């Protein structure tokens, strides 16, 4: 008898489920965009996007807990299929490392906490205008921040140069600056920064690797 095991090992199921949820939500919004009955993108953004004025101004929330829930809900909404694909590619590639090191429960915790930090970054440094911020980029950058912190710890503990980590961070910074201006200032670099810092800070609280990753 041939044992037909799933190609998705149990520790990775949470990561794949999370990614599929992101795709499913965007797919439903895309279908409504072309006329299929359902929840419209406008309604989804109204209730779930991150709205900076809800933090620092007199704008009334749609529901009482919105100023709190939007710190997480914005990470599950995206602006297009391309937007969610770009985040999903990084989420899956770096997320596999996160799960291997921390386990799926801590991976999910890192996702949520980095998303919250991304919202905080946008709240502190985002534009004053009433514009929605959506996307899992803050959480994704949290994954990258944790990955690079672990690499930094591993290199330093063995007496090797940490230059590769700083070169990666410098390259990522240059890329964000270029995209910010290339996209007409619509890139939420503030969320990227908040998420990356959260991942960097939280990494030592998770199980660090014993060798460079």
Mean pLDDT of 184-204: 95
- What is the CATH classification number for the domain harbouring 35? 1.20.1540.10
Give helix 66-73 / helix 104-125 axis angle, nearest 10°: 120
Residue 125 has pLDDT above 70, yes or no: yes
Task: Tally DSSP H helices, then E strands, for the chain.
Answer: 9, 2
Q: Is residue 211 part of a domain?
A: no
Residue 99 lies in a domain: yes
C-alpha distances out from residue 152 to 102, 113, 155, 163, 203, Å: 17, 21, 5, 9, 11
Residues 72-123: tens digit of each pLDDT:
999 999 999 999 999 999 999 999 999 999 999 999 999 999 999 999 999 9
- pTM summary value: 0.90
Q: Please tell me the predicted confidence (pLDDT) of residue 2.
A: 39
Give CA–CA dist 48/10, Å, rounded.
Answer: 30
Share of the chain above pLDDT 70, in %: 92
Task: Tell me if 213 is assigned to some domain.
Answer: no
- Residue 2 forms part of a structural domain: no
Residue 3 lies in a domain: no
What number is the average pLDDT over the span 115-133? 94
Statement: residue 210 has pLDDT above 70: no
Nearby residues of 190 by Cβ (< 8 Å), 6 or more positions away: 118, 121, 122, 124, 125, 126
183: phi > 0 → left, psi -120 to 50 → alpha, else beta; which?
Answer: alpha
> What is the number of structural domains in the chain?
1
- Least confident range from 68-77, 158-167, 171-180, 204-213: namely 204-213
- Residue 132: beta bridge partners? 51
Boundaries of domain holding 85: 10-205
Helix, coil or strand: residue 132 = strand
Residue 173 lies in a domain: yes
SS3 126: coil
Q: How confident is the model at residue 1 (pLDDT cuts 50, 70, 90)?
A: very low
Of 112-121, 175-184, 193-202, minimum mean pLDDT range: 175-184
* 2-59 pLDDT per residue, tens: 343 444 555 789 999 999 999 999 999 999 999 999 999 999 999 999 999 999 888 8
At 5 the pLDDT is: 45
Average pLDDT score over residue span 193-201:
98
Q: Is residue 143 part of a domain?
A: yes
Cα-based angle 37, 38, 39 (whole degrees, multiple of 5): 140
């Amino acid at each position: 008898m041939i044992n037909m095991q799933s190609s998705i090992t149990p520790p990775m199921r949470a990561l794949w489920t999370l990614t599929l949820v992101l795709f499913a939500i965007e797919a439903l919004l895309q279908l409504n965009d072309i006329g299929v009955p359902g929840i419209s993108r406008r309604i989804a953004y109204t209730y779930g996007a991150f709205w900076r004025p809800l933090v620092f101004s007199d704008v009334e929330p749609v529901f009482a807990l919105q100023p709190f829930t939007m710190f997480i809900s914005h990470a599950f909404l995206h602006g297009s299929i391309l937007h969610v694909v770009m985040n999903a590619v990084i989420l899956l590639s770096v997320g596999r490392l996160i799960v291997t090191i921390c386990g799926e429960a801590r991976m999910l915790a890192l996702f949520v906490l980095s998303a919250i930090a991304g919202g905080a970054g946008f709240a502190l440094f985002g534009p004053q205008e009433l514009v929605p911020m959506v996307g899992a980029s803050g959480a994704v950058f949290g994954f990258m921040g944790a990955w690079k912190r672990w690499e930094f710890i591993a290199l330093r503990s063995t007496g090797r140069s940490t230059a590769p980590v700083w070169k990666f961070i410098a390259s990522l910074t240059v890329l964000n600056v270029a995209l910010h201006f290339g996209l007409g200032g619509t890139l939420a670099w503030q969320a990227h920064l908040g998420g990356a810092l959260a991942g960097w800070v939280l990494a030592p609280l998770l199980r660090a690797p014993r060798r460079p990753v």
